[in-house]
Amino acid sequence: MFKDSESGVKALARLSTLVNSSLDLMEVLDNAMKYVEVLMDAEASSIFEVDYERDELVFRLARGKEGDKAREVRLSMDEGIAGYVAHDGEPLLVADVSKDKRFTSRVDEYTGFKTRSIACVPIKHKGRLIGVLEVLNKRGGAFEEEDLEVLTVVSNQIGIAMENARLYQRLQEEFTLTAEELKKAQQKIIQGERLAALGRLSQGVAHEVRNPVMSIGGFARRLKQKFSRDDPSYNYAEIILKEAARLEKMVRDVENYTKMREPEFREVNLKKLIELAVGEWRQEKTSPDIQVNLDIADEETTFPGDEDLLSLALKNLLQNAGDAMTDPGEVSISAHPQGRQIFIKVADTGRGISPEDIPQIFDPFFTSKTQGSGLGLTTVQRIVIEHNGEISVKSTPGQGAEFQILLPLYPDDMQLSEFEVLGNKE
């Protein structure tokens, strides 16, 4: 039955090395089937893969004159000889397709190829059907039982190759993902460490500064009362008072920042969260000429988070947006699930942020405001990071700034420790 002078066993052994020697599946399959065609003196061959999601057979490989065209066709799971074998699970010989009702001429009609005879076997891996292998049109006569035996051995090898390639691809995908995640995790750790160190330092400084500043403020107030308004010393005392008040605020901000608690994860309703933050900000904000546009997901969207902290973060963004606007302006907030994440956007029409400032705005104490502590965005970033999320910023100076926050939508995507916290709280 073999056209080659090689013995069947040797041929199969060679095929086996071929199949295992490369992880590039298409190359493997093509080489294997080319070899099988020579071995059986056949005109063409195809490998179908089962698409379990759509319940269809798709061409993984179609060798022969119109192979490329054939690949555009999909068969339903019980269509044609391949479909029959997929269903039946047993090898099948069809000596003359024109006499077999199971045969579908759909592929031939599409490609112009003329199928006469078929030897077809299922491709299984560990008992699970993963595809079907077909060899078409034996030149020297009819396919025989022996051909099916050889094909069965070949299909086992191909099954392993297909499964390996699938696993390898998955591994690769997972690996790339891990490398990316690793980078992100690393950045988060570095950022986290930096913030923790700075937090300890500023807590120490704040503690030392707190009492003297209070005394300076207190005595300046008393001094001020001693001078009449036209006395230049009255102004000096007032300046001391103002500066002391600024320092006191700074100390308060630092203490608030360093005392900020860890998030406690509960189910947070996205819409309620945004409304809460906007509501609180509206109560506090000083400039009235800001139009707020809300574009929020449906009522039901929930995700794991700490409502108070997240609302504080959003309020900080809103405060900054308000501070950035001198003329009447707009703040637009949108919040939606996006894939496995929640995407929150806070955009304003304020003065924007210059490109040189962008890398620093999240740094503690970076501020362009006379009354600013520069801890607002640091706080926002910390809260987002502690929620295993990400924050980024875009800005066109003169036109506005846009802060984007991504948070995990599902508890499964939180870090394990956070997930445990979530579990404990339930």
Ligand X SMILES: Nc1ncnc2c1ncn2[C@@H]1O[C@H](COP(=O)(O)OP(=O)(O)O)[C@@H](O)[C@H]1O
Instruction: Name the closest residue to ligand X (Cβ).
Output: 376
Q: How far is the CB of 184 from ligand X (least distance, A)?
A: 22
CA 178 to chain centre: 11
Tell me the C-alpha distance between 75 and 87, whole Å. 12
Q: Which residues bind Mg ion (CB under 5 A)?
A: 320, 376
Q: List, in order, residues 6 or more apart from 86 with CB less than 8 Å away.
A: 48, 50, 57, 77, 78, 122, 129, 132
Q: Which of residues 351-370 bind ligand X (CB under 6 A)?
A: 351-353, 357, 361, 366-369
Using the minimum distance from each CB to Mg ion, give the nearer residue, 93 or 292. 292
Stretch in the footprint of ligand X (CB under 6 A) among 117-125, 128-136, 181-189, 376-384? 376-384
CB 137 within 8 A of CB 43: yes
376 binds ligand X (CB under 6 A): yes
Q: From the list ligand X, Mg ion, none, which binds 369 (C-beta under 5 to 8 Å, kind-based)?
A: ligand X
Contacted by 45, from Mg ion, ligand X, none: CB < 5 to 8 Å by type: none
Q: How far is the CB of 399 from ligand X (least distance, A)?
A: 10
Q: Which is nearer to Mg ion, 329 or 376 (CB)?
A: 376
82 binds, among Mg ion, ligand X, none (CB under 5 to 8 A by kind): none
- For the bound state, the minimum distance from the C-beta of residue 387 to ligand X, rounded and expressed in Å, comes to 18
Q: Which two tokens stand for residue 10?
A: 């040797």
Cβ contacts of residue 399 below 8 Å, gap of 6+?
Answer: 349, 352
Please pick, from the candidates 348, 383, 391, 418, the single residue that binds ligand X as defined by CB under 6 A: 348
Q: Is 202 within 8 Å of 250 (Cβ atoms)?
A: no
| Binding letters toward ligand X, positions 397-416, x by CB under 6 A | ----x---------------
CA distance 64 to 280: 71
Of 137 and 320, nearer to Mg ion (C-beta) is 320
Closer Cβ to ligand X, 29 or 324, answer by number: 324
- Reference 46, options 76, 75, 13, 6; nearest CA is 75
Residue 324 touches which member of ligand X, Mg ion, none, C-beta under 5-8 Å by kind: ligand X
Residue 301 interaction partner, one of Mg ion, ligand X, none, beta carbon < 5-8 Å per kind: none
User: Considering CB under 6 A, how many residues would be counted as binding ligand X?
Assistant: 23
Under 8 Å CB-to-CB from 201, ≥6 apart: which residues?
none
Q: Measured from the CB of residue 272, what is the shortest distance to ligand X in angstroms? A: 24
How would DSSP label each residue in 166-197?
HHHHHHHHHHHHHHHHHHHHHHHHHHHHHHHH
Among 324, 342, 406, 414, binds ligand X (CB under 6 A): 324
Rounded Cα distance between 117 and 31, Å, is 22
Distance of CA 221 to the CA centre of its chain: 56
Decide whether 202 or 378 has the Cβ nearer to ligand X: 378
What is the torsional sign of CA 401, 404, 259, 193? negative
Residues binding ligand X (CB under 6 A)? 316, 320-321, 324, 348, 350-353, 357, 361, 366-369, 372-378, 401
